[in-house]
């Protein structure tokens, strides 16, 4: 039995293609970057320094997981630990004692670079490790001829074997970081989404400008990567808004959220792409890899 006064409402059929695309955390249309095509040949590498003199912003975490994601896409990746704390080496499970480290390569120019390269548990991702010895490099390099170009000349010797070399810098703007910037084609600046994040970025950009003027005219800013973002807090959203206001399209569309999976993955000395391959954080780093390939920062 049907009721005679029943009102039937015709609902329009939703056509997803006609809906406005959702906005991502950076306020821009959320795009999904295409899965890159495999490379037919490898090298020479594009060298990217991960740099921010502020500590604990995600430089090492990004070096590890961006490196692993690019390797998953078939890129040959060399990660260079350029911090005496050796966090990158620990995070990728590399040996740091009784082995050749980046310090040995800086000091003994005749040393064979391939001697220092170790494979990691991720196929296609290699590392040159560092340990606390590297903290003496600042002192040793002061009197060297062309002291800013030493890392560049070390990396030149293995550049043809890789598609990308990622340099994990220490949190300072000393001579090691200037070496990293001099050796690099691009800089990636991880920025933690918290107040004071922008403090110091002006000084970092000034340093990059000086390196461009005096040592490495071709260096580019590849992007600013917002890390440790928490969409539930107004605080995080406001900081990201200010970062986008200040740096516009230099801010990468990919944003890395805050999750305890990263410290967990560090303890297991594996990239998050292996430790929790299905986790949103692993997918975020894969997206970063796809975005950088789409932007042309990586082959
Ligand atoms: N997205 C994230 N969410 C939660 N924790 C994170 C995230 N990224 C990094 N961490 C954690 O924050 C700490 C600092 O990160 P990381 O070591 O990558 O920073 P860094 O910039 O390399 O630090 P430093 O300047 O000391 O070298 C680590 O314990 C790491 O596991
Ligand atoms: Mg670090």
Of 52, 53, 56, 130, best ligand 1 pocket probe by most atoms within 8 Å of the beta carbon: 56
In a domain, 50, yes or no: yes
Q: CATH code at 198?
A: 3.40.50.300
Give CA angle at 90 (39, 67), nearest 5°.
Answer: 15
Q: Which atom of ligand 1 is nearest to the CA of 257?
A: 1
- Residue 157 scores a pLDDT above 80: yes
- For the cut 80, the answer to whether the pLDDT of residue 156 exceeds it is yes
Distance 296 CA to ligand 1 centre (A): 26
190 closest CA partner among 174, 210, 168 = 168
What is the 8-class DSSP label of residue 218?
Answer: T
44: preceding bond cis by omega (within 30 degrees): yes
C-alpha span between 75 and 125 (Å, rounded): 8
d(CA 80, CA 82): 6
pLDDT of 172 > 70? The answer is yes
Q: What tens digit of pLDDT does each residue of 93-140 get?
A: 999 999 999 999 999 988 999 999 999 999 999 999 999 999 999 888
Instruction: Please indicate, yes or no, if residue 228 is contained in any of the structural domains.
Output: yes
Reduced to 3 states (helix: H, G, I; strand: E, B; else coil), residue 223 is strand
Pocket perturbation via mutation, ligand 1, pick of 54, 61, 232, 261 by most ligand atoms within 8 A of CB: 61
- Domain annotation covers residue 279: yes
Q: What is the DSSP string of 29-54?
A: B---PPPPPPPSS--SPEEEEE--SS
**Does residue 22 sit within a domain?**
no
**Each residue's pLDDT tens digit, 29-69:** 777 899 999 999 999 999 999 999 999 999 999 999 999 99
Please give the pLDDT value at position 200.
87
pLDDT category of residue 18 using cuts at 50, 70 and 90 = low
Task: State both tokens at 20.
Answer: 């406005």
Q: Is the dihedral of CA 232, 234, 236, 238 positive or negative?
A: positive
Specify the pairing of strand 118-119 against strand 77-82.
unpaired
Q: Is 236 in the pocket of ligand 1 (CB under 6 A)?
A: no
Contact 60, 271 (CB under 8 A): no
Phi and psi based region of residue 293 (left: phi greater than 0; alpha: psi -120 to 50; beta: remaining): alpha
Instruction: Quote the distance between the C-alpha of residue 280 and its chain's center.
Output: 17
Q: What is the pLDDT averaged over residues 237-261? A: 94
Site to probe by mutation for ligand 1, drawn from 66, 262, 266 as the one with most ligand atoms within 8 Å of Cβ, is: 262
10 lies in some domain: no
pLDDT for the residue numbered 287: 97
What pLDDT is recorded for position 20?
67
The answer as to whether 208 is a domain residue is yes
Query: Is the C-beta atom of 280 inside 6 A of ligand 1?
Result: no
Q: Is the pLDDT of residue 290 over 70?
A: yes
Model pLDDT, residue 108: 92
Confidence of residue 270 (pLDDT cuts 50, 70, 90): very high
DSSP class of residue 21? P
pTM above 0.95, yes or no: no
Q: What angle do CA 214, 215, 216 make, to 5 degrees?
A: 115
- Mean pLDDT value across residues 143-159: 95
Read off the pLDDT of residues 195-243 as tens digits, 9 standing for 90 and up: 888 888 999 999 999 999 999 999 999 999 999 999 999 999 999 999 9
- For residue 20, being part of any structural domain is answered with no
Percent above pLDDT 70 for the chain: 94
Residue whose token pair is 């967990």: 264
Q: Give the total number of structural domains in the chain.
A: 1
Show the tokens assigned to 153: 């000349």
Q: How far is the CA of 62 from the centre of ligand 2 (A)?
A: 9
* Assigned domain for 26 exists: no
Q: Is the pLDDT of residue 8 over 80?
A: no
Residue 111 CA to ligand 2 center (angstroms) comes to: 26
Distance 1 CA to ligand 2 centre (A): 72
Residues 282, 68: Cα–Cα separation, whole Å: 10
Judge whether residue 21 has pLDDT over 80.
Answer: no
Domain range spanning residue 173?
41-295
Q: 107 CA distance to ligand 2 centroid (A)?
A: 22
Instruction: Quote the pLDDT of residue 196.
Output: 85
Residue pair 225/256 in contact by the 8 Å Cβ criterion: yes
- Is the distance from the beta carbon of residue 12 to the nearest atom of ligand 1 less than 6 Å? no
Closest CA to 226 of 211, 237, 215: 237
Mean pLDDT score across all residues of the chain: 93
């Amino acid at each position: 039995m049907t009721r005679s006064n029943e009102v039937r409402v015709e609902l329009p059929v939703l056509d997803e293609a006609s809906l406005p695309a959702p906005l991502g955390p950076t306020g821009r249309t959320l795009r999904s970057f295409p899965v890159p095509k495999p490379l037919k040949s490898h090298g020479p590498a594009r060298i990217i320094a991960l740099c921010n003199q502020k500590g604990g912003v995600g430089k090492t975490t990004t070096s590890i997981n961006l490196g692993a994601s690019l390797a998953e896409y078939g890129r040959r990746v060399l990660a260079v630990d350029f911090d005496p704390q050796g966090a990158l080496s620990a995070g990728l499970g590399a040996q740091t004692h009784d082995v050749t480290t980046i310090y040995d390569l800086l000091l003994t120019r005749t040393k064979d670079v391939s001697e220092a390269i170790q494979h990691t548990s991720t196929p296609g991702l290699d590392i040159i490790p560092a340990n606390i010895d590297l903290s003496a490099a600042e002192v040793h390099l002061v009197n060297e001829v062309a002291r800013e170009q030493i890392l560049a000349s070390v990396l030149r010797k293995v550049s043809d074997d890789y598609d990308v070399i990622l340099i994990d810098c220490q949190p300072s703007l000393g001579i090691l970081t200037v070496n990293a910037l001099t050796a690099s084609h691009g800089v990636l600046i991880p920025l933690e989404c918290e107040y004071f994040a922008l403090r110091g970025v002006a000084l970092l950009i000034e340093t990059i400008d000086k390196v461009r003027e005096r040592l490495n005219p071709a260096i580019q800013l590849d992007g600013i990567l917002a890390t440790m973002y928490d969409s539930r807090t107004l605080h995080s959203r406001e900081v990201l808004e200010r970062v986008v206001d200040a740096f516009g399209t230099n801010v990468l569309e990919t944003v890395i959220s805050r999750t305890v999976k990263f410290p967990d993955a560090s303890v297991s000395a594996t990239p998050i792409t292996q430790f929790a391959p299905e986790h949103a954080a692993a997918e975020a780093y894969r997206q970063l890899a796809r975005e950088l390939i789409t932007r042309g920062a990586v082959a």
